[in-house]
Amino acid sequence: MEDGYRDRTAFIRGAKDIAKEVKRQAGKKMGRGMDKMTDEYTKRSYTRFEEDDDDDYPVQGQDGGYYRSDSRANDDEGAHSDSTEGHDEDDEIYEGEYQGIPRADSGKADGQVGGVAAPGAQFQDFGALAGERRKDQEELAQQYETILQECGHGRFQWTLYFVLGLALMADGVEIFVVGFVLPSAEKDMCLSEPNKGMLGLIVYLGMMVGAFLWGGLADRIGRRQCLLISLSINSVFAFFSSFVQGYSTFLFCRLLSGVGIGGSIPIVFSYYSEFLAQEKRGEHLSWLCMFWMIGGIYASAMAWAIIPHYGWSFQMGSAYQFHSWRVFVLVCAFPSVAAIAALNTMPESPRFFLENGKHDEAWMILKQVHDTNMRAKGYPERVFSVTTIKTVKQMDELVEMGGDTAWHKRWKMKLTSLFHQVWGNFQACFSPEYRRTTLMMMAVWFTMSFSYYGLTVWFPDMIKYLQKQDYNSRTKVFIKERVEHVTFNFTLENQVHRNGQYFNDKFMNLKMKSMLFEDSVFEECYFEDITTSNTFFKNCTFISTLFYNTDLFKYRLVNSKLINSTFLHNKEGCILDFSDDNNAYMIYFVSFLGTLAVLPGNIVSALLMDKIGRLRMLAGSSVMSCVSCFFLSFGNSESAMIALLCLFGGISIASWNALDVLTVELYPSDKRTTAFGFLNALCKLAAVLGISIFTSFVGITKAVPIMFASGALAAGSFLALKLPETRGQVLQ
């Protein structure tokens, strides 16, 4: 028994020596893929020795298991290892051969063996750990750039470009949805002016919360996963909002829809940038911005095509109505749904994995990027040569929870830990190393958003105001007219009647729009099936008059007297007055032109971003936008305001593209989406303030909006020049 054991031991040692020699000779060609080959060779040799043994008794292996000999002889010359398949006589590596997943041993901390911390490493100084982590990040940044250069730019990046473009398109659609449906939804929901204002702002408030929330989570649980969750929330509540009937539930659904889509911009730009090499980053991030424009065009076109078609509706009694504007809301959720479906085919950011110590997952994704691009370029034989990638030292504490811990306590501990990690990451953006950069970026984001969103909403409101002024200038006035035995069965619009007398007249099956009767007398008249809008009777007297199936509610009869007059079967529904449907067409048209006008600015910024730099693009575009604001004083007509809107949008888009690229490149990978999300949340807050302030001056003065917008843009361009230029730098 002892002799057999010694013979087996000697044979195993010999097999190991042979395997080591094979590994040494393969050397650089086989890399770490030989680890598997060595283990396989040793295992097969050990098994073969036992199978050749005549004795049939169990032998305990090193892993605690047992091998049993079965007295079957194998031909030694025919024995081989499966791991050697795919090699020729010169040990060349073929495309598609499994080489094993390389390990980043260099990324392990000193004092660790097999990934488990040695006892003396448990109490390392936190500052020393942070210093090691920064050093690891710097080394990783340089190596990652080299790896991206080897992977090239090709089919994989373009596929990801269109997938993430759908998510950015969904964000663009969300901005326009409420503004397009308001002219129709206000009638169904009977919305007052304060309610309409709240509905317009609630989307920005939701996006503000969502940007901060999802931006912070994306640095902890992954870009792809957070983007999927946020888009799913947006899709679900956008779908629900098209069916709910009440104002409160609709407001709630649009709020949560905004919270979902709020994560789109911070995650999309960070996610895409981590697949782009340095010389491609500025240009292709600018091309990605075009999908926001496409989202606005999509929303405008769908509104124009769907909302005016009132036949696209149904109702169940008076309690449930589904009009065409609800179909439009449903259609606007399609980009988000498409983005979710497409994103499921894409991998997580390998840079995120490397920042979180997941070397194997990152290596496999980078190999996928390399192989996809090489096959598309006609070089399928090229092999991904990277074997080891630097990983960043982890500083998070792991809290062990026993199996008997209640599930809700485990979730509470996990969520608490996640909250502290996200909050700590946010606070790190204000650490001495990043404080100046963050404060400067806050100022630039705020000034840009305040002026841009304030003016883009102020322009349509000014156009509607000019339309109203022109409409009022065409008002017909009739004084002291006397009308007897006349039947009115046509639309009465934009007229003023003062001191009139109407005897035995019939007003039947007609619409009264923007009509005013003052100090007039109606005697023995008959009103039937009347629909009114902005129509009032002031200081009028009704004698022996019958009102049948009308919406002439009491509030339309201002200081009027009713003598022997009767109201029968009054119309039910909302008693508020609403805007004209023609204004809705103008909103769609103006938004379409304003969105389309940014196309030249997008193209110019994409082509020049990597040539003139981010700061020059940002400051130059802001200065030109500031100058264009002074032309607003010449906007005294509807066509002039539309032209100025297109001019401002086309110029300012370049500064937005530069700001997005700059934000991505100024922060390291473990803080990128956190910082971007916070700055984007600040952007939405500035948008709410800008919209509220600018619209309050509509019809009062142009000087204040011009002064605010130009001052904010000038300050933003000045501060932008104080930021560090990131062109030509590796991604931190």
> pLDDT digit string (tens) for 67-118?
333 433 334 444 333 333 334 444 443 344 434 444 444 444 343 433 444 4
pLDDT of residue 395: 63
Q: Give 25's pLDDT tier (boundaries 50, 70, 90).
A: low
Which pLDDT score is estimated for 443?
A: 92
The confidence band for 577, taking pLDDT boundaries of 50, 70 and 90, is: low
Q: What is the pLDDT of residue 56?
A: 42
Residue 49's pLDDT is: 40
The tokens of 322 are what? Answer: 């589904």
- What are the distances in angstroms from CA 532 to CA 298, 499, 574? 34, 21, 12
pLDDT bin (cut points 50, 70, 90) of residue 396 is low
Nearest to 605 by CA among 587, 620, 594, 595: 620
Could you say which DSSP state residue 2 is in?
H
- Average pLDDT on 357-383 reads 88
What number is the average pLDDT over the span 591-618?
A: 86
Closest by CA position to 658, among listed 592, 730, 723: 723
CA distance 506 to 525: 6
Question: In this structure, which amino acid lies at residue 86?
Answer: G
Q: Two tokens at 328?
A: 């439009």
Distances (CA, A) of 334 to 174, 279, 327, 341, 725: 11, 34, 12, 11, 38
- Which of 403-428 are b and which e, b meaning 16 or more Cβ less than 10 Å from the residue's Cβ? eeeeeeeeeeeeeeeeeebbeebbeb
Task: Characterize the bridge pairing of strands 561-563 and 541-543.
Answer: parallel
Mean pLDDT across the stretch 581-610? 80
Check: CB of residue 141 under 8 Å from CB of residue 273: no
Q: Is 412's pLDDT higher than 60?
A: yes
Q: Taking 80 as the threshold, does the pLDDT of residue 364 lie above it?
A: yes
SS3 498: strand
pLDDT-based confidence at 723, cuts 50/70/90? confident
Q: Share the mean pLDDT of the chain.
A: 78
- The mean pLDDT value for 188-199 works out to 80
175 pLDDT above the threshold of 90? no
Percent of the chain with pLDDT over 70: 77
Residue spans of beta strands (DSSP E) within 129-196: none
Distance (Å, whole) CA 717 – CA 616:
9
Q: What size, in residues, is the chain?
A: 732
**pLDDT bracket for residue 166 (50, 70, 90):** very high
CA angle 589, 595, 597 (to 5 degrees): 100
Are the CB atoms for 247 and 195 separated by under 8 Å? yes
Distances (CA, A) of 481 to 53, 474, 499, 503, 689: 125, 19, 7, 11, 50
Average pLDDT for residues 211-230, to the nearest whole number?
A: 91
* Among the listed residues 264, 290, 285, 289, the one whose alpha carbon sits nearest the alpha carbon of residue 207: 264
What pLDDT score does 127 carry?
A: 64
* pLDDT (mean) for 356-367: 87
Does 71 or 537 have the greater pLDDT score?
537
Please determine, for residue 125, whether its predicted confidence score (pLDDT) is greater than 50. yes
- Given a cut of 50, whether residue 391 has pLDDT beyond it is yes
Rounded Cα distance between 39 and 486, Å, is 105
**Which amino acid does the sequence have at 479?**
I
Indicate if the pLDDT at residue 367 is higher than 80. Answer: yes
pLDDT at 167: 92
**What pLDDT score was predicted for residue 41?**
41
pLDDT at 52 over 60: no
CA–CA separation, 193 and 175 (whole Å): 19
pLDDT at 339: 94
Report the pLDDT averaged over residues 342-364.
Answer: 89
Question: Does residue 485 surpass a pLDDT of 80?
Answer: yes
The secondary structure of 177-213 as a DSSP string is HHHHHHHHHHHHHT--HHHHHHHHHHHHHHHHHHHHH
Of 573 and 442, the one with more pLDDT: 442
Query: Considering only CA atoms, which of 301, 223, 310 is closest in space to residue 269?
Result: 223
Spatial CA neighbour of 279 closest among 153, 180, 157:
153
